[in-house]
Structure 1
Amino acid sequence: MEKIRSPFRGIIEDLKGRSACYKQDWVNGFHSGYRILAPTTYIFFASALPVIAFGEQLSRDTDGSLSPVESLASTAICGIIHSILGGQPLLIFVVAEPTIIMYTYLYNFCKKRPELGKKLYLAWAAWVCMWTAFLLIILAIFNACTIISRFTRIAGELFGMLITVLFIQEAIKGVVSSKFPKTRKARSWRYGTGWFRSFIAEYGVPLMVLCWTALSYTIPSKVNSGIPRRLFCPLLWEPESLPHWTVIKDMGKVPIVYIFAAIIPALMIAGLYFFDHNVASQLTQQKEFNLKNPSAYHYDVLLLGVMQIPGLNNSFQSWFQTLICGLLGLPPSNGILPQSPMHTKSLSVLKTQMIRKKMVKRAKESMLQHASNSEIFGRMQAIFLEMDRSSPRAVDNELRNLKEAVMKSDGADDAKENFDPEKDIAPYLTVRVNEQRVSNLLQSLLVGISMCALPVIKMVPTSVLWGYFAYMAIDSLPGNQFWERVFEGDHASFMESVPFKSILIFTAIQFGYLIICFGVTWIPIAGILFPLPFFLLIAIREHIFPKLFHPEHLQELDAAEYEEISGTPR
């Protein structure tokens, strides 16, 4: 209540925290050099391919009123704005499935009303965006994002699993079956040279998209030309794509009653975006990633609202932000799952690789110079301090096990023989994320450029897109404790302190709730209200779970892992 009575407080705190590390966000990106291209390419495909698929779905459902062109444009523009002005630059903005469902509902509503019809569909949708933006800005001003701290591990895991199930559902709808090689683990393969394994691990996914697209053109000529089915979308310069860009001129033609009626769908969209965007941000910054920079929930929701206002022209945004939504007739984008946490994971691989590589190099140099054990460790520690910018005390604690590995033998010669920098450093390094803005900016620019490459994109078989949906779903599962608790052999430390019966009951409840949430998405029209069960979960977690589980066991199973990260500006 105190924060509600202090409007703008959350936004001001977010701006202070993020402005202190804004310069470092760019420095970190440029210091990565060419290595930043691997996570950039990875997340570009993770953004562009689903957006194209959703855009084609939207084109079918709206009789061509919208197409992949508009979806790509929205994703690119919102992504560029957020990567430059956003609070949490690791968030990936994409036109997502809930937006497609909502815009389809708006189109069907307009079709049934002669006063609107297909002609004023986008104009009325622009008014919906106006009201949505107003509601999101109000939520940001009055610090509504504080409720996100009430979501514990179970909520984050359930939402992540729900998105995974929805992605697999879309993949199954498109193709009967697909097989995906685990190229992300290629670095541990026993065959091939080091550079080859790294190349496959970093660029395997885009290579497979290109390879399967090329193979689709080797089909014998006797096969029907419609097999495999390929993307259908108008090109950027074709007449079908032109009317959308100036839809703001039609907003005044919408009857006044429908302008105010637009508040109703706006309430649903605002609630959906508020939840989806914040949970995506929360999972992008989860504790396991060890992020150093502070969060910016309130400011990001404010920016999300501002980016949806058609034709707004004030101090909050420059001219290009006036193009979002209404003025260009674009479906809105927001921070989503699973792309946002996937982005953080890819950057954690990059940062850890960079630290490990330099530490290995320094250790080998020290061993050639016949340095003592303590000197070898001291030089590696100096490299870690230089690259991580943590406090010396924190680094001492973190590298304690590595120090023991280096110093494990009293005989200096034996220690050097037993300690292999290539193999023995990596296991002792915790996750480190290269927190920067460059990869998000580059991938957003690539999405924008892809609008001009539609003649090439139209060559991709739709089955490849749906296969990629399944790959994204599977690739997002590692790290989800619910998934690992059910299917994996390696479990967390709670297995030793929590009775198996409690773990079984907790997992069964979680699984049952997942089925309920998935069932809600199948309800016609009301399916867009699927975030409601997650808000209800707050009350269940606080009032019912404590009666079912011992407090210590509940803390182990469902600790508040995803609270806002206070961080320390660097």
Structure 2
Amino acid sequence: MNAGARRSWARTTLDREVNLGATDGRNTKVVMLVTVPRTSATRGALEGMTRLEALKTMKMAMFRLIRDTDFVLDCRRARTAKDLVDAYEEACSVLTGEHLRKVEEEAEMASRRGAEFSGVFAGGVASDIRRRWPLYKDDWVDGFKSPTKCLSATLYMYFACLGPAIAFGGLCYKETSGMMGAMEYLCCQALSGILWAVFAGQPEIVLRPAGPQTVFIIELYKRCKSWKIDFLVTHAWVGLWTAIFMLAIALSDSCAFVANKCTKFTQDIFSLFVCVIFIFEGLKNLFSYFDNDEYSTAAALFSLILGVMTVQLGMWALTLRSSPYLNTTIRELTADFGLASAVIIATVTAKLCDIPGLERLRLSSDFEPSMQREWWIDLSSGNKYIPLIAIFPALMLTCLYYVDMNVATLLCNAPEKNMRKGAAYHLNFAVLAILVFITSLLGLPPPTGSLPHSPQYVLALSDVEEFVVDGETRQKVMKVHEQRLSPLLVNVLVALSFVVIPVLKSIPMCVLFGLFIYTGITGLYENHFWERIKIGFMEPRLHPPTSYVRHVPLSRVHAFTCVQIACVGVLWGIRSSPIALTFPIFIMALMPLRVLLFKKFGWFSPEWLELLDANTNVANSSADDDYAMLDDRRENEWLTNAKRTSVSNTASNFMEFSEFAGLHESGPAFGNAASLHAHTRSDADGMNLHRHEPTQMSKDNNISHLHNTP
């Protein structure tokens, strides 16, 4: 190539992946060779800049292309040179002018869509139906378009729902003297889940009898026992009143208040509170074997080992997705089916070791309630004052549902989740009210939108791209396979579990307790509150590059976190106190508490509060200050010029970046989509911006390498 006369570039796909020195250890499949005259850096938008300034500007511009657009994904799909250039031009169009702000605003609006006050009776429910009905057929068809993702998400959520249902059922059986147990929990999961998949506005929200509802049932039983009234009849009347109150909320569009006023402050506290319940109950039950004379020391110790094994295998499978081992297909399959594999491996291990006295899952061999009774509850039996007594507990349960269900919907529809079909706050709440009514008449626990299962299920249905920021692997959701088939299959499998009860009875309870812990730990991953707790134990220079860390004084960050910790502590204290029945009121009080503490008392400036309580993904804010260090006008101008040029000039502009992108000490510029983020960001910090010594070939032809995994 005559590099001094013209620019040239070539792109090739290797027969097999090779190691070209990517910093994250991943191999290279696609190689791009670029030759660029040195004088090209002084033209156009970069005119007047030094070589270092031009390097910073172009790298940050390309970083924005990759972080805020689908440029990498489009490059992977490119089959011709024109496809590659078209991908570049489209990405430039996304970032220039007002388009990027418009996309961000639309993403935020999409997360709140369906959460407006219509001012008309049942207007919100009608609006949700009008918006979701045209997509109803697609909800079913889309499940068949992605069979692998559908199957992996189905098996993942099947075990994630089956374990807690059985474990919470076992806990409820013990605390209610056998009035309600695992059989009722499994029936509730199967019945409500199947109906939810068919009739719900947004079926991706996981419906199941959850931890807070179990706590409520146990406390209600204790009150009924002390008041000497029938528990199941009282439970049925509480469910009836709760369904009426919930239906009134849905028909009056009142869900819009939580959807619009519930900030990350409340969402993160409630999410962490639920995760702590899962972790605490799992650990408490695992260690309870050591205090129980029914189990030998060997059985107790082996139960602990199996529980830890389940957690560790699940976590290992989850982290394998971003590791350099095996190939991409095997890594994805292992990560998707990891939890199911962990349960199977732990169960087989228990069978092979055959430790005597190991607690197994307790289920009735016949399809019947836990106690001798009819399935339908006779509302006319019991004390005549039960209908009136049930009103107050029903109000408490309604408060719990009001926050629980809407927060789960908010978290699933957060902008970073990339859900495109829109939420259905009012319709979902109305359908849930009907399901609460049905399950209560059957003597089943009431279902709810589950945390952290719902956001985890959305992620399981997603195609994600991973990238590295400051050595930390982050994920970006590219597409969510929004469908009804997988939610239906999950609960059909739960229903079929009654057929294979002998197989389920072979699962050790300690394995299910390990599932509790796994669910709680993974639920913390995307919790901003948890991220700020970890900051308190970090060396300041190693803090993550989030916007609030850089713009808010560290003392205020810790103060904000301490307030949230205190709120979780209060909720936990109330949960463990004699007034546990009223804990839903304190959950609702978190929303006005935020306004009272942070706006009325002025503990935080509006700017600080906006950063600390922003409804944005932690990963997406990692380079905010890098933009401030550079000239955004020059970046946009450079991208705009690229967009307006001809195909050949656009390729030249793209090659202009490539020539600069290779000038750093690590050798080749990019290893894959993940390391691309890390390289562009770390080099833009101005810390590693010095040239490496080129080979003789690159000295002659000024060749840089840009390689990426397809």
Task: Please report the TM-score for the alignment, with normalisation by the length of structure 1.
Answer: 0.76
Q: Determine the structure 2 residue equivalent to 1:96.
A: 210
Q: Aligned partner of 2:512: which letter?
A: L
CA distance in 1, matches of 2:367, 2:589: 47
Corresponding residue of 1:484:
531
Question: Per-residue displacement from partner, 1:442-461 (whole Å, max 9, x unpaired)?
Answer: 10111111122222111111
> Cα distance 1:253–1:508, how it changes in 2: closer, same or farther (>3 A)?
closer
1:235 paired residue number: 365
Contact 2:169 2:183 in 1 (8 A): yes
Residues 69, 235 of structure 1: 8 Å contact kept:
no
- Of 563, 569, 585, the residue aligned with 1:515 is 569
2:585 aligns with: 532
Change beyond 3 A, Cα 1:531–1:104:
closer
Does the 8 Å contact 2:268/2:527 carry over to 1? Answer: yes
Indicate the SS of the match to 1:452: coil
- Partner amino acid for 2:330? F
The answer for the alignment partner of 2:425 in structure 1 is: 297
Pairwise CA distance, 1:45: 0.9
SS at match of 1:530: helix
Q: Secondary structure at the match of 1:212?
A: helix
SS at match of 1:432: strand
What are the superposed Cα offsets for residues 108-135 of structure 1, whole Å, 9 maximum, x if unpaired? 3444566x44xxx323322221111111
In the other structure, the counterpart of 2:411 is: 283
- Distance in 2 between the 1:301 and 1:252 partners? 28
User: Counterparts of 1:147 and 1:529 in 2: how far apart (Å)?
Assistant: 21
Residue 82 of structure 1 is matched in structure 2 by 196
Residues 1:256 and 1:27: Cα distance change in structure 2 (over 3 Å): same
What amino acid maps onto 1:254 in structure 2?
A: G
Counterpart for residue 545 of structure 1: 598
Contact 1:91 1:336 in 2 (8 A): yes
Cα offsets for 1:231-262 (capped at 9, x unmatched): 22222346856734233xx2222333212222
Q: 1:154 aligns with which of 265, 288, 304?
A: 265
Higher share of residues assigned helix: 1
The worse-fitting range, judged by mean Cα deviation, of 437-446 and 509-518 is 509-518
Q: Which residue of 1 aligns with 2:156?
A: 42
| Aligned residue runs from structure 1 range 43-442, under 5 A | 43-112=157-226, 116-117=229-230, 121-148=231-258, 149-176=260-287, 178=308, 180=312, 181-219=315-353, 225-226=356-357, 228-237=358-367, 243-247=373-377, 250-310=378-438, 324-326=439-441, 328-348=442-462, 351-352=463-464, 430-442=477-489
Percent identity between matched residues is: 31
Matched, 1:9 2:123: yes
Alignment partner of 1:494 out of 542, 548, 561: 548
Amino acid at match of 1:182: W
**Deviation per CA, 1:373-424, whole angstroms, max 9, x where unpaired?**
xxxxxxxxxxxxxxxxxxxxxxxxxxxx9xxxxxxxxxxxxxxxxxxxxxxx
- From the superposition, tell whether residues 241 and 438 of structure 1 become closer, same or farther in structure 2 (CA, over 3 Å): farther
Residues 197-246 of structure 1: CA distance to partner in whole angstroms, max 9, x if unpaired? Answer: 223211111111111111112336xx5x32x2122222234685673423
**Aligned-partner residue type, residue 375 of structure 2:** W
Give the aligned partner of residue 504 of structure 2: 457
Alignment partners' CA distance in 2, 1:106 and 1:427: 43
In the alignment, the residues of structure 2 paired with residue 5 and residue 198 of structure 1 have an alpha-carbon distance, to the nearest angstrom, of 47
Equivalent residue number for residue 624 of structure 2: none
Q: Distance in 1 between matches of 2:118 and 2:399?
A: 18
Which residue of 2 is the match for residue 313 of structure 1? none
* Matches of 1:461 and 1:106, distance apart in 2: 29
Counterpart residue type for residue 439 of structure 1: S
Q: Distance in 2 between matches of 1:42 and 1:480?
A: 21
CA distance in structure 1 between the partners assigned to 2:533 and 2:226 by the alignment: 47
2:318 and 2:477 map into 1 onto residues whose CA distance is 18
TM-score by length of structure 2 reads 0.62
Q: Secondary structure at the match of 1:243?
A: coil
Q: Who wins on radius of gyration, i.e. which is larger?
A: 2
What is the distance in 2 between the residues matched to 1:240 and 1:153? Answer: 40
1-structure distance, mates of 2:595, 2:526:
24
The residue identity in structure 2 corresponding to 1:203 is F
CA distance in 2, matches of 1:338, 1:429: 19
- Are the counterparts in 1 of residues 220 and 581 from structure 2 also a CA contact under 8 Å? no
Change (3 A) 1:254 1:295: same
CA contact (8 A) 2:400 2:587 kept: no
| Gaps in structure 2 of 5+ consecutive residues | 1-115, 288-303, 468-472, 536-542, 618-710
Give the secondary-structure state (helix, strand or coil) at the position aligned to 1:189.
coil
Q: 1 CA distance for matches of 2:186 and 2:475?
A: 41
Q: Which of residues 449, 454, 466 in structure 1 aligns to 2:513? A: 466
Question: Which residue number in structure 1 is paired with residue 613 of structure 2?
Answer: 558
Conserved in 1, the CA contact under 8 Å of 2:416 and 2:476?
Answer: no
Shift of residue 145 of structure 1? Answer: 0.8
The residue identity in structure 2 corresponding to 1:304 is L
Higher strand share: 2
SS of the equivalent of 2:511 reads helix
Change in Cα spacing, 1:125 to 1:28, as seen in structure 2 (3 Å) is same
Structure 2 CA distance for aligned equivalents of residues 290 and 468 of structure 1: 27
What CA distance in whole angstroms lies between the structure 1 residues aligned with 2:481 and 2:445?
31
- CA gap 1:482/1:107 in 2 versus in 1, 3 angstroms: closer
In 2: Cα distance, 1:146 partner to 1:561 partner: 20
Question: Does the CA-based 8 Å contact 2:153-2:457 persist in structure 1?
Answer: yes
Task: Please tell me whether the aligned partners of residues 174 and 462 of structure 1 are also in contact (alpha carbons under 8 angstroms).
Answer: no
Deviations, residues 259-318 of structure 1 (Å, cap 9, x unaligned): 2222122111111122211111111111211211221111111111111224xxxxxxxx
Q: Distance in 2 between matches of 1:428 and 1:332?
A: 34
Query: Which of the residues 144, 161, 168 maps onto 1:30?
Result: 144
Number of the residue aligned with 2:646: none
**Consecutive aligned runs of 4 or more in structure 1 exceeding 6 Å deviation:** 426-429
Distance 1:508 1:443, change over 3 A: same
Specify the alignment match of 1:398 in structure 2: none
Matched positions, count: 464
With over 3 angstroms needed to count, the CA separation of the structure-2 counterparts of 1:276 and 1:213, relative to structure 1, is: same
1:447 aligns with 2:533: no
Matched residue of 1:175: which SS?
helix
Q: Indicate the SS of the match to 1:531.
A: helix
Unaligned runs of 5+ in 1: 311-323, 357-400, 402-425, 563-570
Q: What's the secondary structure of 1:169's corresponding residue? A: helix
Report the CA distance shift for 1:288/1:52 in structure 2 as closer, same or farther (over 3 A): same
Alpha carbons of structure 1 residues 191 and 544: separation in structure 2 relative to 1, 3 Å: closer
Q: 1:4 to 1:37 in 2, by over 3 A?
A: closer
CA-based RMSD of the aligned residues comes to 2.6
